[in-house]
Amino acid sequence: MSEELKKGLEGVLVAESELSYIDGEAGQLVYRGYSIDDLAREASYEEVLYLLWHGRLPNRDELQSFSDAMAAERTIDGDVLDNIEALANADEDPMAALRTIVSSLSASDADTDANPTERDANFRKGRRITAKIPTALAAFVRLRNGDEPVAPREDLSHAANFLYMLNNEEPDDVLAETFDMALVLHTDHGLNASTFAATVTASTLADLHSAITSAVGTLSGSLHGGANQNVMAMLKEVDDSAKDPTTWVEDALAEGRRVPGFGHRVYEVKDPRARILSEKSEELGRAAGDTKWYEYSAAIEEYIQNEKGLAPNVDFYSASTYYQMGIPVDTYTPIFALSRVGGWIAHVLEQYDDNRLIRPRARYTGDSEREFPSIDDR
Q: Work out the angle at residue 334's Cα, subtended by the Cα atoms of residues 263 and 11, and round it to the nearest 5 degrees.
A: 35
DSSP helix/strand/coil, 35: strand
DSSP string, 337-355: HHHHHHHHHHHHHHHHHT-
How far apart, in Å, are the Cα atoms of 344 and each of 116, 213, 304, 370?
A: 15, 10, 32, 45
Catalytic residues: 264, 315
Element (H, E) at 297: helix 292-308
Alpha carbon distance 115, 111 (integer Å): 9
On the CB side of 259, how many CA atoms lie within 13 Å of its CA? 30
Answer positive or negative: Cα dihedral of 83, 105, 65, 188: positive
| Amino acid at the residue 188 | D
What is the maximum span of the chain, computed from C-alpha positions, in angstroms? Answer: 77
Q: Following CA atoms 20, 266, 205, 132 in sequence, which dihedral angle do they give, to the nearest 10 degrees?
A: -70
Alpha carbon distance 324, 178 (integer Å): 11
